[in-house]
């Protein structure tokens, strides 16, 4: 395994995680790398497209974490950005970041990675979509996991239109139709709010109960409020967060939603003020889980049945990487065995950036992940010798802390995890010269349970 500034590095993806990986290589003086991206500009899934050309956000998308808690550590979002910027502002932010740090010059756009094959010496043979073959000493995967839709399976057949939220772009095709949205994640809840104003009937089907947090509490985004109390032990934070949620909403029963069957910090919550508004105004109709399908009729587990023209499934994604043979990497089911959510034990030259589901925003976490990886590649950071045992311990803690479901296999708690990453950054890590002082809220030390 080649370590040092002569090592050649491949980065897959020029989205938010890929560009910060490139920036941190430059920050440690490493320039022998290439970033491959199939799109024509920086931004990843925040490059909105009305066509299903890539895994892009929908037209009305805004971030669900606040501006102050979503920006990179040393590149604050502009002060005139709103608390929750939309995709156009975010695209500008990411592209300005890449230009500011000189990352853009290292990106090969319109270039897809077809396969990544590990060699006997732990280097990587990369085959590109145009047939070119390149060789690298290290491989950083920063392509995300929101691309392979996971469709739900029900008895029977639906003869209307059924699509995954991955293919949802805007509400216009659903005007005047009866639409059922499935799922309790942020995408499903955003989409049902987006369409309910122009459909004849909009309903939301939940299999289980989730916590819906308004996007403004006490005049601030909830993640900003939460940051002020991150130093409290987790058990106390659970109780105080639940009390705040109950005081703000009155509980799910008031909205016709099922009661959550888990504690409030055991999953990432839904950040959405509109959902509660539209439910109480009768524009969105809560429904139980689906029992079976029969033509255009949907039968629910409570015995009710209704006809729908369209079903939109906001049911998440499979964690897959099309360029890897599954013998190399297969996270499609079960646990995701990575130390710090970055390092696999069996592949010492492979790194994952941004492959996590935080109770907060991914980008600041990816920022610090990338800093650690850059130091690993240049020989300034050593992994623990008991790496496999550390990974197993992390998996065990994750199972104890979060609800046992596939969507939570990547779950991390924002402040706790960020503090762990900060402790791993080498003391002699260089800063980028001339960058504005860090303005985002500093995470507070987090106590144990």
Q: How far apart are CA 123 and CA 8, in angstroms?
A: 9
For 411, half-sphere exposure in the C-beta direction (CA atoms, 13 angstrom radius) is 22
305 with 364, same domain: the answer is no
258 with 353, same domain: the answer is no
Q: How far apart are CA 278 and CA 189, in angstroms?
A: 11
Could you tell me the two tokens for 434?
A: 């001339």
197 with 96, same domain: the answer is no
Question: Are the CB atoms for 72 and 438 separated by under 8 Å?
Answer: no
338 with 417, same domain: the answer is yes
Instruction: Report phi then psi at 415, rounded to 5.
Output: -70, -40
Q: How far apart are CA 361 and CA 371, in angstroms?
A: 17
160 with 137, same domain: the answer is no
337 with 411, same domain: the answer is yes
Residue 100 located in a structural domain: yes
54 with 80, same domain: the answer is yes
Residue 119 located in a structural domain: yes
128 with 215, same domain: the answer is no
Residue 443 located in a structural domain: no
241 with 348, same domain: the answer is no
105 with 170, same domain: the answer is no
Instruction: Report phi then psi at 42, rounded to 5.
Output: -70, 145
Helix, strand, or coil (residue 272): coil
How many domains does the chain contain in total? 2
- Which residues span the domain enclosing 193? 156-313
> Is 109 exposed, middle or buried (CB count within 10 Å of its CB: 0-12, 13-18, 19+)?
middle
Tens of pLDDT, residue by residue, the chain (449 residues) = 899 889 999 999 999 999 999 999 999 999 999 999 999 999 999 999 887 666 678 999 999 999 999 999 999 999 999 999 999 999 999 999 999 999 999 999 999 999 999 999 999 999 999 999 999 999 999 998 877 899 999 999 999 999 999 999 999 999 999 999 999 999 999 999 999 999 999 999 999 999 999 999 999 999 999 999 888 998 999 999 999 999 999 999 999 999 999 899 888 889 999 999 999 999 999 999 999 999 999 999 999 999 999 999 999 888 999 999 999 999 988 889 999 999 999 999 999 999 998 888 999 999 999 999 999 999 999 999 999 999 999 999 888 887 766 666 788 889 999 999 999 999 999 988 654 433 333 333 333 43
**E strands, 62-155, in order:** 107-108, 113-118, 124-128, 133-136, 138-141
Residues 88, 94, 96, 98, CA torsion sign: negative
Nearest-Å Rg of the Cα atoms of the chain is 22
Q: How far apart are CA 142 and CA 157, in angstroms?
A: 37
Residue 441 located in a structural domain: no
350 with 419, same domain: the answer is yes
Q: How far apart are CA 145 and CA 195, in angstroms?
A: 25
Q: How far apart are CA 276 and CA 281, in angstroms?
A: 9
198 with 160, same domain: the answer is yes
CATH number at residue 211: 3.50.50.60
> Which of these, 244, 304, 13, lies nearest to 140 by C-alpha position?
13
């Amino acid at each position: 395994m080649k370590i040092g500034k002569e090592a050649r590095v491949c980065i897959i993806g020029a989205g938010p995680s890929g560009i910060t990986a490139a920036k941190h290589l430059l920050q440690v003086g490493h320039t022998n790398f290439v970033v491959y991206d199939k799109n024509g500009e920086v931004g990843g899934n925040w490059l909105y497209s009305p066509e299903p050309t890539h895994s892009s956000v929908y037209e009305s998308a805004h971030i669900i974490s606040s501006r102050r808690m979503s920006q990179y550590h040393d590149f604050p979002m502009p002060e005139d950005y709103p608390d929750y910027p939309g995709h156009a502002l975010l695209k500008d932010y990411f592209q300005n970041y890449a230009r500011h740090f000189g990352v853009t010059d290292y990106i090969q756009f319109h270039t897809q990675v077809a396969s990544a094959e590990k060699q006997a010496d732990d280097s990587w043979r990369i085959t590109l979509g145009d047939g070119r073959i390149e060789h690298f000493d290290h491989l950083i995967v920063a392509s995300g996991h929101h691309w392979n839709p996971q469709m739900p399976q029900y008895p029977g057949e639906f003869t209307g239109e059924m699509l995954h939220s991955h293919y949802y772009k805007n509400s216009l095709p659903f005007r005047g139709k009866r639409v059922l949205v499935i799922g309790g994640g942020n995408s499903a809840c955003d989409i049902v709010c987006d369409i309910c104003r122009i459909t004849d009937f909009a309903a939301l089907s939940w299999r289980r109960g989730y916590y819906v947090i308004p996007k403004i509490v006490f005049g601030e985004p909830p993640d900003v409020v939460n940051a002020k109390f991150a130093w409290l032990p987790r058990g106390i934070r659970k109780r105080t967060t639940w009390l705040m949620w109950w005081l703000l909403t009155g509980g799910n029963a008031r909205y016709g939603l099922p009661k959550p069957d888990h504690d409030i910090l055991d999953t990432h919550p839904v950040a959405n003020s509109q959902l509660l508004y539209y439910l109480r105004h009768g524009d969105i109709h809560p429904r139980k889980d689906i029992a079976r399908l029969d033509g255009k009729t949907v039968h629910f587990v409570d015995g009710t049945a209704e006809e729908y023209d369209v079903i939109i499934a906001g049911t998440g994604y499979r964690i897959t990487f099309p360029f890897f043979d599954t013998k190399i990497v297969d996270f499609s089911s079960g646990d995701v065995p990575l130390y710090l959510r970055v390092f696999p034990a069996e592949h010492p030259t492979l790194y994952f950036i941004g492959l996590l589901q935080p109770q907060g925003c991914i980008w600041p976490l990816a920022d610090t992940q990338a800093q650690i990886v850059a130091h690993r590649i240049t020989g300034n950071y050593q992994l623990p010798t008991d790496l496999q045992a550390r990974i197993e311990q992390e998996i065990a803690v994750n199972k104890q802390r979060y609800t046992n479901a596939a969507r939570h296999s990547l779950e991390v708690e924002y402040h706790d995890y960020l503090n762990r990453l900060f402790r791993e950054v080498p003391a002699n890590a260089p800063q980028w010269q001339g960058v504005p002082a860090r303005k985002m809220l500093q995470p507070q030390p987090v106590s144990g349970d």
